[in-house]
Chain A
Amino acid sequence: MAGIDHAPPPFFKRGPAPLALLTFYIAVSLAIFVVDLRFKSLDLLRQSIALLIDPVQRVAQTPGSLVDYAANYLQGMKSLQNENSELKHAQLNTAPNLQRLIQLEAENERLRKLLAVKEREKANGQVAQILYTARDPFSRKVIVDKGQQSGIVAGQPAIDESGVVGQVTRVFPFSAEITLITDKDQAVPVQIVRSGQRSVVFGLGNGQLELRYMPANADVQVGDILVTSGLDGIYLAGFPVAQVINIERDSAYSFARIFCVPVAGVENFGELMVLDPRQTLPPPPPESVGRGSDSGDKTGLRPKKKRAAKAN
């Protein structure tokens, strides 16, 4: 590192020594790396920089979308007609169920009222266009074109026409970042449709998901569909999430390894729907006192750790 010392003689004005500068910048970089990772308190900085580069990013995406547009425009009439007839066919196929849906929902509501069960939440949302995939190769995220200006908040789930895609993790003024369910360790609380068993499915980072902490003799079969269980205050119950494709039962371990693939076109480009946040749950009971009088249905939602800690 001797070369850099060929600086002007000291009677000219010069800044701090390169090594001092290097130390300073390295220290700052590492500091913001740790703060961003552990404390997540740099959102304001991130948002302001995002606001600055948002126009540049949109300009950079223009050529690609122009090519897409041209390809769509030049697509043959034949294929469009085919697609149209297929869609009509599909619509007719689903018609018997759809036409009775309103009546079914009304009936369901009435029955729930009779049973004094809380009414099902309605799923509303807004359609958002996927702008681009985040360039970071270590995670699976997409950026959509709705942000704070459209009232998006972090935590909202996103679905496409066949199932859950992911969850909004960061919100910028004009865009939002959606972490896909296949991102490493992204968790979705699910329920197996066939057996009604509840569990949590985790992303593996390679396009697959894994159902963890299921006992080796659990009632899971290849082909089982997992839907959201609604036990988290984020995802509404009943949206398809994944399908089991492979089960490894090894008696040496107490848990089975269950691999699933997402039902939704998670890694495809297109449009998706960002669902409104769920209605606020009743406030959690105070932490310190009065926990003993909790009724069983609420404590079931809590992590086991807290209960264990209380037992000590």
Chain B
Amino acid sequence: MQPTFSSSRILLPVRPWFIFLSLIAAVLFNFLPTAHWPGMPDWVALVLCFWSVREFRRVGMGWAFVLGLLMDVADGSVLGQHCFAYVLLAYVSASLSRRLLWFPLVQQALQVMPLLIATQLIQALMRLAVGADFPGWGYFIGPFIATLLWIPATFILLLPQYQPVEQDPDRPI
């Protein structure tokens, strides 16, 4: 696979354990006390969206559902709230994957933004529908920060797949 479809640079195949590790790290990031700061992005949604775009055969709605369940329990929210939003996010990201990867990173981020906002919005709507209070606009800053983080996230999460630009002809591989 290539960083984008218009790039000529070929990536190494992804390692499944790295996907697993990155998702666990995202969960850990969400558990940090910093999660209460205003405008903190939902790391799980970001990483899940990334892998759904990149590797929708490996990370799909099943992962989204399980991660959603974990986040629901950890947050103390109603079970199924994160599940619903994450499953939809994974599905739409996977459907957009073929188109998204033709664009340079900044434009990718712009197209991912509505998905991340929708993830947050769906959760808010689900809770408002059953009688919770509006949590304030600060709740919706997170997705915008996450959009900005799409570019560094792409760089970091693809890091193990890059191969050296100058190949040594003496080395067999």
| Chain A residues within CB distance 8 Å of chain B | 1-4, 6, 18, 21-22, 25-26, 28-37, 42, 45-46, 49-50, 52-53, 56-57, 59-61, 63-64, 132-139, 141, 143, 170, 177, 184-185, 205-206
> Within the complex, what minimum Cβ distance (angstroms) separates A230 from chain B?
28
* B99 and A60 within 8 A (CB): no
* B126 and A206 within 8 A (CB): no
* Residues of chain B within 8 A of A134, CB atoms compared: 75-77
Knowing A33-B126, A42-B79, A60-B32, the reply to whether A135 touches B74 (Cβ < 8 A) is yes
Some 28 contacts from A to B, beta carbons below 8 A apart, are: A3-B95, A4-B56, A4-B94, A4-B97, A6-B98, A21-B62, A25-B83, A25-B87, A29-B68, A29-B84, A30-B80, A32-B83, A33-B126, A34-B80, A45-B79, A46-B79, A53-B27, A64-B32, A132-B33, A134-B77, A135-B35, A135-B36, A137-B135, A138-B133, A138-B135, A141-B76, A170-B76, A184-B131
* A33 and B73 within 8 A (CB): no
Complex Cα spacing A35 to B80, Å: 9
Q: Using a Cβ–Cβ cut-off of 8 Å, how many residues does chain B contribute to the interface with A?
A: 47
* Residues of chain B within 8 A of A50, CB atoms compared: 73
The 8 closest A-B pairs by CB, nearest first: A33-B80, A60-B31, A134-B76, A3-B98, A138-B132, A137-B135, A29-B84, A64-B33
Knowing A26-B88, A49-B70, A205-B133, the reply to whether A138 touches B77 (Cβ < 8 A) is yes
* A22 and B91 within 8 A (CB): yes
Let me know if B144 is at the binding interface, CB within 8 A.
no
Interface residues of B in 128-158 (CB under 8 A from A): 130-133, 135-136, 139
* Residues of chain A within 8 A of B79, CB atoms compared: 32-33, 35-36, 42, 45-46
Let me know if B81 is at the binding interface, CB within 8 A.
yes
**0 or 1 for each of B11-44: is its CB under 8 Å from A? (1 = yes):** 0000000000000000110111101100000000
* B31 and A137 within 8 A (CB): no
By beta carbon, the residue of chain A nearest B80 is: A33
- Out of A32, A63, A136, which one reaches B80, CB within 8 Å? A32
> Within the complex, what minimum Cβ distance (angstroms) separates B51 from chain A?
15
By beta carbon, the residue of chain A nearest B27 is: A56
Let me know if B47 is at the binding interface, CB within 8 A.
no
Knowing that A25-B61, A53-B31, A57-B31 are A-B contacts, what are 13 other residue pairs whose CB atoms are under 8 Å apart, sorted by A's residue number? A3-B98, A21-B61, A25-B64, A32-B79, A33-B79, A33-B126, A35-B79, A60-B31, A133-B36, A138-B127, A139-B76, A185-B131, A205-B133
* A25 and B132 within 8 A (CB): no
By beta carbon, the residue of chain A nearest B70 is: A53
Interface of B is mostly: helix
> Within the complex, what minimum Cβ distance (angstroms) separates B82 from chain A?
9
Interface of A is mostly: helix
Complex Cα spacing A225 to B130, Å: 33
Let me know if B65 is at the binding interface, CB within 8 A.
yes
* Residues of chain A within 8 A of B32, CB atoms compared: 60, 63-64
> Within the complex, what minimum Cβ distance (angstroms) separates B119 from chain A?
13
Let me know if B3 is at the binding interface, CB within 8 A.
no
* B75 and A136 within 8 A (CB): yes
* Residues of chain B within 8 A of A138, CB atoms compared: 77, 124, 127, 132-133, 135
* A136 and B83 within 8 A (CB): no
> Within the complex, what minimum Cβ distance (angstroms) separates A143 from chain B?
7
Let me know if B69 is at the binding interface, CB within 8 A.
yes
Complex Cα spacing A134 to B135, Å: 14
* B84 and A33 within 8 A (CB): yes
* Residues of chain A within 8 A of B1, CB atoms compared: none
By beta carbon, the residue of chain B nearest A185 is: B131
- Out of B69, B84, B95, B136, which one reaches A26, CB within 8 Å? B84
* B130 and A37 within 8 A (CB): yes
> Within the complex, what minimum Cβ distance (angstroms) separates B104 from chain A?
18
- Out of B30, B78, B99, B139, which one reaches A3, CB within 8 Å? B99
* Residues of chain B within 8 A of A137, CB atoms compared: 135-136, 139
- Out of A1, A184, A205, which one reaches B95, CB within 8 Å? A1
By beta carbon, the residue of chain A nearest B60 is: A21
* Residues of chain B within 8 A of A32, CB atoms compared: 79-80, 83
**0 or 1 for each of B87-128: is its CB under 8 Å from A? (1 = yes):** 110010011111100000000000000000000000010110
- Out of B36, B65, B80, B132, which one reaches A184, CB within 8 Å? B132
* A25 and B27 within 8 A (CB): no
Complex Cα spacing A34 to B88, Å: 18
* Residues of chain B within 8 A of A139, CB atoms compared: 76-77, 132
